[in-house]
Amino acid sequence: GAGVSQSPSNKVTEKGKDVELRCDPISGHTALYWYRQRLGQGLEFLIYFQGNSAPDKSGLPSDRFSAERTGESVSTLTIQRTQQEDSAVYLCASSLYRISNQPQHFGDGTRLSIL
Amino acid sequence: ELKVEQNPLFLSMQEGKNYTIYCNYSTTSDRLYWYRQDPGKSLESLFVLLSNGAVKQEGRLMASLDTKARLSTLHITAAVHDLSATYFCAVDIGGSARQLTFGSGTQLTVLP
């Protein structure tokens, strides 16, 4: 399909390991967002990419979290030295920039479990 | 810091009844979004509200926005079981970041 694609869909890892999550946005969408959703809660903004501009990293909870995006394509979110509190669903969304009548389109998320 | 509050957080209602979910936010904005999330699934866009007085309707759901009151409502008419889900409102305060600030969600259960 033409939606936002995330992988893996589920990831279980041991505390202290590094993980890498991937997001393929909708083709043509210049804006890409990462959010975190803890169980039973709303979404927490992590980071935003817009084209080749410097990303907005204001939502990253610690320096263990980082993300990259090449141009307007794939993004990866990396969590180093994972902790149990990192367990959550990580959602990626994309949208057309500067077209405010369009919603953000979300992927199905990566469910991360830290043992 | 923008705060977005939804109420109620949990709502059980019988089929055929009407109810309203409220979304209050603390900072000026004229862009508000409603999303639906089914268990274990991602978020599905329901409504995009872009101005004061905006009203959108789809089936048994109707959303409105009052930017002066910093309030949006999601009204459910004659609820059916298929509407059971968690509903989120999200506010865009604009600027360069364009990230959304989400409410905590309203978990709706429609009982037969």
Instruction: Kindly report, residue by residue over A53-65, the tens digit of the pLDDT.
Output: 888 888 999 999 9
Q: Least CB-CB distance to A43: which of B92, B97, B102?
A: B102
Name the percent of chain B lying above pLDDT 90.
76
- Locate A102 and state its tokens: 């369009």
Q: CA nearest A53 in B: which residue?
A: B96
B34 Cβ under 8 Å from any chain A Cβ? no
| Mean of pLDDT values over A81-106 | 87
Mean of the pLDDT values across residues A37-51? 89
Residue A33: exposure state from Cβ atoms within 10 A (0-12, 13-18, ≥19): buried
For residue A21, what pLDDT is reported?
Answer: 98
B63 touches chain A (CB under 8 A): no
Given this model, what pLDDT does residue A100 score?
62
Mean pLDDT, rounded, for A94-107: 79
| Structure tokens, A8 | 């893996």
A interface mutation test: which of B7, B87, B100 has the most A CBs within 10 A?
B100
Band of pLDDT at residue B61, cut at 50, 70 and 90:
very high
Cβ atoms of residues B59 and B72 within 8 Å: no
- What is the average pLDDT across B41-49? 92
pLDDT of residue A1: 54
Average pLDDT along chain A: 91
CB A91 within 8 A of CB A22: no
pLDDT value at B99 more than 80: no
Place of tokens 């977005």: B4
Residue A51 identity: G
Q: How many residues does chain A have?
A: 115
Model pLDDT, residue A23: 97
CA A61 to chain centre: 13
Distance, in Å, from the CA atom of A91 to the CA atom of B65, rounded to the nearest integer, reads: 26
Residues present in chain B in total: 112
The pair phi, psi for residue A62, each rounded to 5°, is: -160, 170
Q: Choose the closest CB to A101 out of B41, B50, B98.
A: B50
Per-residue model confidence (pLDDT) at position A17: 97
Coil, helix or strand for B82?
helix
Q: Give mean pLDDT, residues A105-115.
A: 95
pLDDT for the residue A53: 83
Name the minimum distance, in Å, from the CA of A16 to any CA of chain B: 26
Contact A43 B88 (CB under 8 A): yes
Q: What's the pLDDT at B98? A: 66
pLDDT band, residue A4 (cuts 50/70/90): very high
Percent of chain A with pLDDT over 90: 69
Judge: B42–A109 Cβ closer than 8 Å, yes or no.
yes
Q: Would you say B30 and B53 are in contact if contact means Cβ atoms under 8 Å apart?
A: no
Q: What is the mean pLDDT of residues A21-42?
A: 91
Q: Cβ of B11: how many Cβ atoms within 10 Å?
A: 18
Going from the C-alpha of A20 to that of each of A17, A67, A112, B93, the distances in angstroms are 10, 9, 10, 30
User: Is A103 in contact with B50 (Cβ distance < 8 A)?
Assistant: no
The shortest CB-CB distance from A42 to any of B33, B50, B105 is to B105
Sign of CA dihedral A37, B13, B31, A97: positive
* A58 inside 8 A of chain B by CB: yes
Q: How many CB atoms lie within 10 A of CB B95?
A: 8
B96 near A CB under 8 A: yes
